[in-house]
Amino acid sequence: MIKPHGANQLKPLYVEDDSARAALLSEAEKLPSVVVSSAAATNAVMLGGGYFTPLEGYMNVADAVSVAETMHTSAGLFWPVPIMNLLESDENLKVGERIALRDPNVEGNPVLAVMHVEAIETLNDTQRDSIIDKVYGTQDEAHPGVAAFKAQGNVAVSGPIKVLNFSYFTTDFPGTFRTAVQIREEMSKLGWEKIVAFQTRNPMHRAHEELCRMAMQDLDADGCLVHMLLGKLKPGDIPADVRDASIRKMVELYFEPNTVLVTGYGFDMLYAGPREAVLHAVFRQNCGCTHLIVGRDHAGVGDYYGAFDAQEIFDAQVPDDALLIDIYRADHTAYSKKLDKVVMMKDAPDHSKEDFVLLSGTAVREMLGKGIAPPPEFSRPEVAQILMDYYQSL
């Protein structure tokens, strides 16, 4: 395993000590409080779990703008995406006070974290537009990430936080949600040193399965961390519990024991394409992974990004010494009828389109909704059954 980003050891902001946490929870009930956005709440979850090491809390406007424009904080730390707590108003908060941050995603809005307010600033239109342009590459509010960012508000409340729970992720996904601390511990117990990470917000079909296998073989890796996003997605995406069940079934049936670790993290999808790919690399380094698979349209949505922009950003914009984790670059993958296996399409120059099993996401959803399993070359039958059951329940 490799060192965390910007530190010799992880810096999780979750208060582990039971008595200290109980005291903070008690104090929080008497503090001024604010219900934060889902984005700010999941930022807190990621900070709590050590995923955002070495950050100590939410960024101020200067750091957020600097990160957007240069991928470095004002102090020079490499970081690809602003980590902010944006509100619609200042809620009568005061600089220098301690406040309770309440969870918008759990009934009753329990306290998620306690924050020391270092700054309360208004993000002006120029600053907001610069962040959106650099992070998302568009101002189009049809882009789900842009829409979610704009909906949070323009008041940036920044400062260090102490995290008191992990929101709904520990209760809804007890077998899957893991902090970066826990992932390092589990991989250490397995004796893994060279580890490839696979990011997913979707179920895994044959191409994804074989891509993990290819990466492990090419890199002579000890194991693969299949790491799924458990937070909010755009309408129409498959819920996390369904993805979880289908991925676990695939791993159980088609991988050797102790070669794949299925876990999840508590974050809302940004759909920020290249910038989000770099963020994925940062927090997979914090998990201890040595490599991250970056494939076609990684973290993308619609037609906002080129097919391989998320690979190219590592060459064009990420300094050589910025990260310890390496990128495993994947091409389009598909099942070859000629070779009777999944291949990277660039490795089969003698193939025509008809030599591959190619199905669009729309076509697959229509088939599943009608109770028709995609061909076994595209999806394992056991995985297809779980997805068919879901689509037919809608």
Rounded to 5 degrees, what are φ and ψ at 176? -120, -40
Q: Which of 98, 109, 154, 202 is catalytic?
A: 202
Please report the pLDDT score of residue 307 as a whole number: 85
Joined tokens for residue 277: 């790919």
**Diameter of the chain by CA atoms?**
70
The answer on 305 and 230 residing in a single domain is: yes
**DSSP characters for 30-54?**
TS-EEEPPHHHHHHHHHHHTTTTTT
The answer on 139 and 229 residing in a single domain is: no
Rounded to 5 degrees, what are φ and ψ at 338? -65, -45
Q: Does residue 7 form part of some domain?
A: no
Q: Does residue 2 form part of some domain?
A: no
Q: Which domain holds residue 68?
A: 18-167
Joined tokens for residue 165: 């729970």
Query: Where on the phi/psi map is residue 271: left (φ > 0), alpha (ψ -120 to 50), or beta?
Result: left
For helices 274-287 and 125-136, what crossing angle results, to 10°? 80
Which of 167, 191, 210 represents a domain boundary (last residue)?
Answer: 167
d(CA 134, CA 11) in angstroms, rounded, equals: 27
d(CA 273, CA 258) in angstroms, rounded, equals: 31
Contact between 163 and 89 (Cβ < 8 Å): no
**Cβ contacts of residue 352 below 8 Å, gap of 6+?**
none
Query: Where on the phi/psi map is residue 5: left (φ > 0), alpha (ψ -120 to 50), or beta?
Result: beta
The DSSP 8-state label assigned to residue 345 in this structure reads G
> Half-sphere exposure (CA, 13 Å, Cβ side) for 394?
16
Give the length of the chain: 394
Q: How many domains does the chain have?
A: 2
CATH of residue 136's domain is 3.10.400.10
Torsion of CA 376, 176, 198, 241, to 10 degrees: 50
Please report the pLDDT score of residue 365 as a whole number: 76
The answer on 338 and 312 residing in a single domain is: yes
The model's pTM: 0.92
Please report the pLDDT score of residue 240 as a whole number: 86
* 8 counts as catalytic: no
CATH of residue 285's domain is 3.40.50.620
Q: Which of 21, 98, 201, 248 is catalytic?
A: 201
Name the residue with tokens 């995923």.
51
Please report the pLDDT score of residue 362 as a whole number: 64
The DSSP 8-state label assigned to residue 347 in this structure reads G
Helix segments in 230-330, DSSP class H: 240-254, 274-287, 309-316
Q: Does residue 3 form part of some domain?
A: no
The answer on 143 and 30 residing in a single domain is: yes
Query: Where on the phi/psi map is residue 65: left (φ > 0), alpha (ψ -120 to 50), or beta?
Result: alpha
The answer on 346 and 321 residing in a single domain is: yes
Q: Does residue 146 form part of some domain?
A: yes
d(CA 164, CA 181) in angstroms, rounded, equals: 16
Q: Does residue 11 form part of some domain?
A: no
Closest CA to 81 of 296, 320, 265, 273: 273
Please report the pLDDT score of residue 49 as a whole number: 98
> Half-sphere exposure (CA, 13 Å, Cβ side) for 116?
6
Bridging pattern class, strands 341-344 and 260-265: unpaired
The answer on 127 and 40 residing in a single domain is: yes
Cα separations in angstroms, 49 against 15, 182, 186, 348, 376: 10, 9, 14, 42, 38
Q: Does residue 13 form part of some domain?
A: no
Please report the pLDDT score of residue 370 as a whole number: 83
Starting at the edge strand found earlier in the chain, the sheet holding 195-200 runs 260-265, 223-229, 195-200, 291-294, 326-329
Q: Does residue 4 form part of some domain?
A: no
Q: What is the pLDDT along the chain (394 residues), one digit of tens a residue?
A: 899 999 999 999 999 999 999 999 999 999 999 999 999 999 999 999 999 999 999 999 999 999 999 999 999 999 999 999 999 998 789 999 999 999 999 999 999 999 999 999 999 999 999 999 999 999 999 999 999 999 999 999 999 999 999 999 999 999 999 999 999 999 999 999 999 999 988 888 888 888 899 999 999 999 999 999 999 877 777 888 888 999 999 999 999 999 999 999 999 999 999 999 999 999 999 999 999 999 888 888 888 999 889 999 999 999 999 999 999 998 877 778 878 777 777 777 788 777 777 656 667 777 888 888 888 888 889 998 998 898 888 7
The answer on 161 and 228 residing in a single domain is: no
Closest CA to 49 of 213, 202, 231, 200: 231
User: Does a cis peptide bond (omega within 30 degrees of 0) precede residue 32?
Assistant: no
The answer on 185 and 102 residing in a single domain is: no
Cα-to-chain-centroid distance, residue 172: 17
The answer on 23 and 147 residing in a single domain is: yes
Please report the pLDDT score of residue 90 as a whole number: 86
The answer on 336 and 196 residing in a single domain is: yes
* 201 counts as catalytic: yes
Which of 167, 182, 202 represents a domain boundary (last residue)?
Answer: 167
The answer on 236 and 372 residing in a single domain is: yes
The answer on 366 and 239 residing in a single domain is: yes
Q: Does residue 12 form part of some domain?
A: no
Residue 322, classed as helix, strand or coil, is coil
Which of 117, 137, 167 represents a domain boundary (last residue)?
Answer: 167
d(CA 55, CA 79) in angstroms, rounded, equals: 10
